[in-house]
Amino acid sequence: MRTLERVNAKVRDDTPLWLFADQLGTHVHGGEHAHRDVLLIEATSALRRRRYHRQKLHLVLSALRHAERDLGDRATLLRAGNYSEALKDFGRPVLVHEPTSFAAERFVEKLHADGLVADILPTPTFALSRNDFRAWAGDRERFVMEDFYRDQRRRFDVLMEGSSPVGGRWNLDADNREPPPKKQRTLEAPKPYRPRENDIDDQVRRDLDAMDIETVGVDGPRLFAVTPDEAKRALTRFVEQRLPLFGQYEDAIMGDDWAMAHSLLSVPLNLGVLDPLDAVHAAEDACRSGSVPLAAAEGFIRQVLGWREYMWHLYWHFGPRYTQKNELTAHTALPKWWRELDADAVDAQCLQHALAGVRDRGWTHHIQRLMILGSHGLQRGYRPDELTEWFATAFVDGFRWVMPTNVVGMSQHADGGKLATKPYTSGGAYINRMSDHCPDCRFDPKKRVGDDACPFTAGYWAFVHRHRDLLAGNRRTARAVSTMDRLSDLDALLEQEADRDRF
């Protein structure tokens, strides 16, 4: 069971509960709060604050308006210029759960001091409380996700046999790194759950058109669950039909199959309409019943109970200045084609498909984020703070807490190794093995120099050269420096990469 601190006993039993757009699940407003009225706010200032993906704004507004409909007489939805204005118009102090960003937390604390918020409750949208993580973290200087993940498994008794992991191994990642199946254009997995749009979605689309908000990406059909009922159906469909194939191919990329066997549950999880422990227990139950391989269930559980929780807690632990980390002194501004999601301006098939996925859906899976988009940014020295902002606004599941540790720490190695023990980047050989993009690409993953030299292969060696001292001192990357020193065409490669403006 998750551990929650008690609500202030002095709070009136009839105090309404104010829910942010990422706190809309029944595990948030049900249970001990099921008797309370609920306040929902659409604040125009929040929609305009950053240049978000059009489909992300649609998902947020659709989630709020569906929550109003589903809660019936309990709910009041206010539309206002900003949150303070709406709370003053509401006229009653409210309860609120901890928000999910530093800026929002400071704002809520001010509202509390001003008397508009009666009390601030711990968030129920993650399995582990912030207090429990602080106790676990102690005085650690460096963090290892595997340590955290194993403790999570023990704490919540997930895939355990007594004190040992089911199957004798904690981590079956080695079983989950298969390349895409040959001679197939798709994984041939059952299709993911697809929500049905309704009158609420129609009105959201009309309202967004009328607001004339500057966004990125294109409008499109709603692909992700935004209500607790939709999230339950999406989870059931994934576990029963898609999870068996998930683990084996979770790191593979197929150009004609954007969803493959991925769960597509990051949006409902990050909107708070799906309890993470419900997702974890559903996968565990399917594994114990024999309908899902252990490696597939463990891989999914590690993503939810391990990585997602780890990113949430390290966001708070590392503090608000973490996004300013730039240990690799990367100062190149994001190019316009990247910021505008202009996939048609890109020749490299892997990068073109990844950018098109962001443009068309606001979503790509984790390997495209890390080993294509992130790796490209790392090799080209894009500013980590700009990349963090881009990932947080251009992705439909990119809330403020999600991206700093994922981008600054994992993807760009800008924190000096506090989160990851090495930079995550590769040459074209990895992309060629794990995707079906390279045969149709004008670039050759085996070539470092020339008009058809793969920008990832050449970019990898240029990155190694630029950071040779750092990489030589790391036992996990020292071999790359030794290999680079033996390249006969290194000077030509570096000259080529200094002038490269086409990818």
The two tokens of residue 28 are 């948030």
Determine the residue type at 392.
A
Local confidence band at 221 (pLDDT 50, 70, 90 cut-offs): very high
Residue 11: predicted pLDDT:
66
171-197 tens-digit pLDDT: 999 888 899 999 899 999 999 999 999
3 pLDDT higher than 70: no
Q: Place 10 in a pLDDT band, splitting at 50, 70 and 90.
A: low
What tokens were used for 113? Answer: 């001091």
> CA-to-CA distance for 421 and 143, rounded, in angstroms?
10
pLDDT digits (tens, 9 = 90+) for 27-80: 999 999 999 999 999 999 999 999 999 999 999 999 999 999 999 999 999 999
**Topology annotation, domain 324-499:** DNA Cyclobutane Dipyrimidine Photolyase, subunit A; domain 3 (1.10.579)
User: Pairing between strand 117-121 and 94-97?
Assistant: parallel
Per-residue pLDDT tens digits for 287-314: 999 999 999 999 999 999 999 999 999 9
- Name 21's Cβ contacts closer than 8 Å, sequence gap at least 6: 60, 63, 64, 271
Query: DSSP per residue over 16-72, as a string?
Result: -EEE-TT--SHHHHSGGGTTS-EEEEEEHHHHHSS--BHHHHHHHHHHHHHHHHHHG
pLDDT at 127 over 60: yes
- By the 8 A CB rule, do 436 and 427 touch? no
What is the share, in percent, of the chain residues with pLDDT greater than 70?
Answer: 98
Fold topology of 130-197+204-319: 1.25.40
Which listed CATH number (3.40.1280.10, 3.40.50.620, 1.10.357.10, 3.30.710.10) goes with 17-121?
A: 3.40.50.620
**DSSP per residue, 275-342:** -HHHHHHHHHHHHHTTSS-HHHHHHHHIIIIIIIHHHHHHHHHH-GGGGG--TT---BPPPHHHHTT-
Predicted local distance difference test score (pLDDT) of residue 443: 97
**pLDDT tens-digit series, residues 384-419:** 999 999 999 999 999 999 999 999 999 999 999 999
Which of residues 108 and 183 earns the better pLDDT score?
Answer: 108
Q: Where are the alpha helices (DSSP H) in 319-445?
A: 336-339, 349-361, 366-367, 375-380, 384-394, 403, 428-434
Distance CA 335, CA 345 (A): 11
Q: Please check whether residue 52 is in contact with residue 393, taking contact to mean a CB–CB distance below 8 angstroms.
A: yes
Task: Give the mean model confidence (pLDDT) for residues 128-156.
Answer: 94
Cβ contacts of 488 within 8 Å, gap of 6 or more:
none
pLDDT band at 2 (very low <50, low <70, confident <90, very high): very low
Name the pairing type of β-strands 164-165 and 160-161. Answer: antiparallel
What are the tokens at 416? 């000096």
What is the end-to-end Cα distance of the chain in Å, rounded? 49
Structural domain spans, the chain: 17-121, 130-197+204-319, 324-499
Chain length of the chain: 503
pTM (predicted TM-score): 0.95
Whether 5 has a pLDDT exceeding 60, the answer reads no
